[in-house]
Structure 1
Amino acid sequence: MSLKVAICGGGISGLSLALVLKKFMVSSTLTVDLYEAESAFTEVGAGITVWQRTRSIFASLGLQAALDNRAVSSPMKLRKSDTKEPFAFHTLDFPHGSIALPRLDMVQLLVENLQPDSTPFLTIHFSKKFVSYKQDADGVTLRFSDGSSSRAHLLVGADGIGSPTRKTMYASIAERVAQSDPAKAASVLEGAQPTWAGTYAYRTLLDGEKLRAVSPENVMLSSGLMWCGSGKHVISYPISPTLINILVFDTVPGGLGKPLAGPSVAVASKDEIAELYNDWEDDLRIAVENVGDVSKWTISHIRGLSQYADGRVTLIGDSAHAMSTHFGAGAGQAIDDSYILGRILAHPKVTAGNIAEALKVYDAIRRPIASDVVERSLRIGFLYEFHPDYLPSGTDIDKLRAGDRNELKKVSDTLQDLWRFHWAEMPEQDWERAHEMLEARL
């Protein structure tokens, strides 16, 4: 029996899923239609970090060599920077290190290895903006903004934080719930909405040679840094031999959980970030005065989504678990989703007739992990800023803000433990659990 998969979204998650299916599918009857709203593959954003979890997936796909020629980032240093007498107080120990690269490079790597023109199982449809779907006992009907439609046995929503797939899915779930509990239906819809993480992030790139010319001893040139301080923080790390990726954060007190307002991305100026950090250390001030184009992002996330699958429809990547940018995990979690879902769909026992049961396995494996990472990322960001509600128990906030080394160690120890996720367990272990569940269910 054939299995026709529709993937809506040609970003990192959608392309990764297609690549996993290409690698592991054993049946020539599995086909994929990938629908991309734009006229070509592209990616918004500057840099991403590839950790050991993601590298292990690339190794299983035979793509390890594609990352081997990229430099492994040096350990990230935590630095107390909200003072004119700054100092480093901890170096985060990252076993296996990490690799930083531009997001567009990752998309190009995935596309190159898919080789769409010579991949008969995959058909790519550009300029196809997905709007909604309707599922029945036999499949899913997809509708697009140009008035066209298509059919598949399975729909995968890889369509980002504003996901039409998620909106349609939760509208359907709420409609069913409303038949017995109208109040709960409203809660279901509310829980599926992205909310503000309380933070703005200014994204920009800095030419390292330009910085070296004006500030040859600048600490930003020597390593990746977490510039920490009360109420704000900055992350900087190289993503190429010449470019430094910089994320400048502005946290609004009481903003966490508020509805999103205004544009999610806007053009900004370096003067805005210079003003935010004008009383911080000189090395940071000089660096932000020399950055290139700046964009201001309203950082939003999806916390604790109640399910990633409903019948023949499922969510991956930001459509399921958009997260804040403090943990370097968004792209990695999208690839984790794709790896587990792709292995499940490629399993010889999975058919068009039992796809809903197979998606329950994906949900059971991936949702707890990704939901935990969303919360880790949120807490990490607040720890960089010494937020009282997220500090380790027993921390003396006044001593911490004054730079007491013992109090700073409590923060750094907690951060080190939170970061262990990236290397403590590998996605292959998640797949082994998924495989056992599949064998038991199907």
Structure 2
Amino acid sequence: MTGTAIVVGGGIGGLASAVALAEAGWGTTVLERARELGEVGAGVALTPNAVAALGGLGFDDEAVAGLGPRTWATGTWDARGRPILRLPDDPGLRATTALRGVHRARLHGALLDRARALGVDVVTDARVTTVVAGAPGGERAVVHHADRAGAERAREAELVVGADGVRSAVRAALFPGRRPVYSGFSSWRAVVPGLDAGPGLAQYWGPHAEFGTMPVSDGATYWYGYVRMPAGTRLDDEHAAATARFADWADEVRRVIAATPPGAVIRHDVLHLPGGLARYVRGRVVMVGDAAHATVPTMGQGAATALEDGVCVGRIVAARVASGQPLGEALAAYDAARRPRCRALARASVASGRFGSHLGPRGQALRNAVMRRVPAAAVTRGARAVMGWTPPALP
């Protein structure tokens, strides 16, 4: 038996969930608050688990290759450009650190095209005001939303997916005590067309800051500057502020910022949800992505886990219900599969930040000396545990 589903949020996690639901035969509607769907001018490193998730959503190798160039993690340098941990150009090691450098807008557009091709109804200008969770085997869930003119509507469904990000309205309605908090860090981001900053992902660590560059689609370079900053800081000129913040860093860092058109630089405060939700399910509602487990971005797994969540909504919940499993059992199985993994990744991200970009000046020299003694193979063993995820089998 298949049913109807409402996905709240038209970002990467929401569209991944919608694709997976539609593939399982569910009639699916996406509600997006914005008037137009789209993504910001930033990049995303698709790690092997993210690529596996895209495969689970029906993207073949050619489609994945079309999203962005194949690249790899090259290592970590200090603020002056001296290597802390250089990853050698070894075929086996490169396979472990393989990435796809992708513009977020291209990934979002590919998911949107696939969702629409599968018959997903995408409704924009739909601000969710409240959610009634319903009960598996009982009353259906209800989502209330309004447009900018104030017109309100209520929609019922057998399943609701809360995929509306770190400031989730679904989470606020159903888990009112769980609010995101400021991490203490803010992040500049930009995509620079025609700039070659190197063939791989390069990261630089300095006191309370991190800078990274990566090639993305169309011969462009994506960069980010993740820095400690008071919450709510307002800057008149983001490009000038980033230039000043990294003025004494490595030549490569300063060159990338200088080559960036000022209007291309964006910034956002990094919010997270410490510990994540105690459960990813309430009634007929299942939570995915940052709405369930937003964490700091020091391991770069935000988009990957959102894609994983979406695949699992389809394979663990929707497909199993279509095969006859009760919804309550399928939702419990989703929670059991996703919550331990996402909690472990969140803890690892916090630990990585404390050891890396969150570390102050006093610990930098000691940290760098220790890391220079770490064999590259030890790093890749840890990477395999994170990035070796594959989608669950279909029932």
The answer as to 2:232 corresponding to 1:262 is: yes
The answer as to 2:258 corresponding to 1:289 is: yes
Residues 412 and 275 from structure 1, CA distance in 2 versus in 1: closer, same or farther, beyond 3 angstroms?
A: farther
The answer as to 2:166 corresponding to 1:158 is: no
In the alignment, what sits opposite 1:240? 217
Give the deviation of 1:123 after TM superposition. Answer: 2.6
- Contact in 1 for aligned 2:192/2:220 (Cα 8 Å): yes
In the alignment, what sits opposite 2:31? 35
- Contact in 2 for aligned 1:51/1:422 (Cα 8 Å): no
Residues 241 and 203 from structure 1, CA distance in 2 versus in 1: closer, same or farther, beyond 3 angstroms?
A: same
The answer as to 2:187 corresponding to 1:201 is: yes
Relative contact order (alpha carbons < 8 A, sep ≥ 6): 1 or 2 greater? 2
The answer as to 2:55 corresponding to 1:91 is: no
In the alignment, what sits opposite 2:121? 123
Choose from 368, 379, 384 the match for 1:420: 384
Residues 135 and 22 from structure 1, CA distance in 2 versus in 1: closer, same or farther, beyond 3 angstroms?
A: closer
Residues 351 and 312 from structure 1, CA distance in 2 versus in 1: closer, same or farther, beyond 3 angstroms?
A: farther
Letter in 2 for 1:132: T
Residues 356 and 94 from structure 1, CA distance in 2 versus in 1: closer, same or farther, beyond 3 angstroms?
A: farther
Give the deviation of 1:140 after TM superposition. Answer: 1.4
- Contact in 2 for aligned 1:79/1:89 (Cα 8 Å): yes
- Contact in 2 for aligned 1:344/1:350 (Cα 8 Å): no
What per-residue deviation string (whole Å, max 9, x for no partner) do you get for residues 397-428 of structure 1? 47526x53x55334977754543334333233
User: Structure 2 CA distance, aligned partners of 1:417 and 1:267?
Assistant: 44
Q: Secondary structure at the match of 1:325?
A: coil
Matches within 5 A, 1:116-195: 116=117, 119-120=118-119, 122-136=120-134, 137-145=138-146, 146-171=151-176, 189=177, 192-195=178-181
Residues 352 and 125 from structure 1, CA distance in 2 versus in 1: closer, same or farther, beyond 3 angstroms?
A: farther
User: Structure 2 CA distance, aligned partners of 1:311 and 1:385?
Assistant: 39
Residues 399 and 140 from structure 1, CA distance in 2 versus in 1: closer, same or farther, beyond 3 angstroms?
A: closer
What per-residue deviation string (whole Å, max 9, x for no partner) do you get for residues 336-386 of structure 1? 001111112333545999323321111111011112212222322333337
User: Structure 2 CA distance, aligned partners of 1:414 and 1:384?
Assistant: 17
Residues 407 and 325 from structure 1, CA distance in 2 versus in 1: closer, same or farther, beyond 3 angstroms?
A: closer
- Contact in 1 for aligned 2:16/2:57 (Cα 8 Å): no
User: Structure 1 CA distance, aligned partners of 2:133 and 2:58?
Assistant: 36
Residues 378 and 208 from structure 1, CA distance in 2 versus in 1: closer, same or farther, beyond 3 angstroms?
A: farther
User: Structure 2 CA distance, aligned partners of 1:352 and 1:133?
Assistant: 26
Give me the TM-score of the superposition, normalised by structure 2. 0.85
Letter in 2 for 1:105: R
User: Structure 1 CA distance, aligned partners of 2:243 and 2:289?
Assistant: 33
User: Structure 2 CA distance, aligned partners of 1:61 and 1:44?
Assistant: 23
Matches within 5 A, 1:37-436: 37-64=33-60, 65-69=62-66, 70-81=68-79, 83=80, 86-87=82-83, 89-91=85-87, 93-95=93-95, 97-116=98-117, 119-120=118-119, 122-136=120-134, 137-145=138-146, 146-171=151-176, 189=177, 192-209=178-195, 220-252=197-229, 261-262=231-232, 268-292=237-261, 293-304=264-275, 305-349=277-321, 354-385=326-357, 387=359, 397=363, 399-400=365-366, 404=369, 406-410=370-374, 416-428=380-392, 431=393
Letter in 2 for 1:51: T
User: Structure 2 CA distance, aligned partners of 1:364 and 1:272?
Assistant: 44
User: Structure 1 CA distance, aligned partners of 2:2 and 2:55?
Assistant: 29
Q: Structure 1: which 4+ aligned runs deviate by more than 6 Å?
A: 411-414
User: Structure 2 CA distance, aligned partners of 1:2 and 1:386?
Assistant: 47
User: Structure 2 CA distance, aligned partners of 1:294 and 1:411?
Assistant: 36
Give the deviation of 1:108 after TM superposition. Answer: 1.2
User: Structure 2 CA distance, aligned partners of 1:110 and 1:161?
Assistant: 20
User: Structure 2 CA distance, aligned partners of 1:399 and 1:129?
Assistant: 49
Q: Secondary structure at the match of 1:371?
A: helix
User: Structure 1 CA distance, aligned partners of 2:209 and 2:32?
Assistant: 36
What per-residue deviation string (whole Å, max 9, x for no partner) do you get for residues 208-259 of structure 1? 44xx7xxxxxxx335321112233221111112431111112125xx8xxxx
Residues 38 and 20 from structure 1, CA distance in 2 versus in 1: closer, same or farther, beyond 3 angstroms?
A: same
Give the deviation of 1:6 after TM superposition. Answer: 1.1
Give the deviation of 1:67 after TM superposition. Answer: 1.3
Q: CA RMSD in A?
A: 3.0
Give the deviation of 1:72 after TM superposition. Answer: 0.9
Give me the TM-score of the superposition, normalised by structure 1. 0.77
- Contact in 1 for aligned 2:143/2:155 (Cα 8 Å): yes
User: Structure 1 CA distance, aligned partners of 2:364 and 2:129?
Assistant: 51
- Contact in 1 for aligned 2:8/2:160 (Cα 8 Å): yes
The answer as to 2:9 corresponding to 1:4 is: no
User: Structure 1 CA distance, aligned partners of 2:249 and 2:198?
Assistant: 18
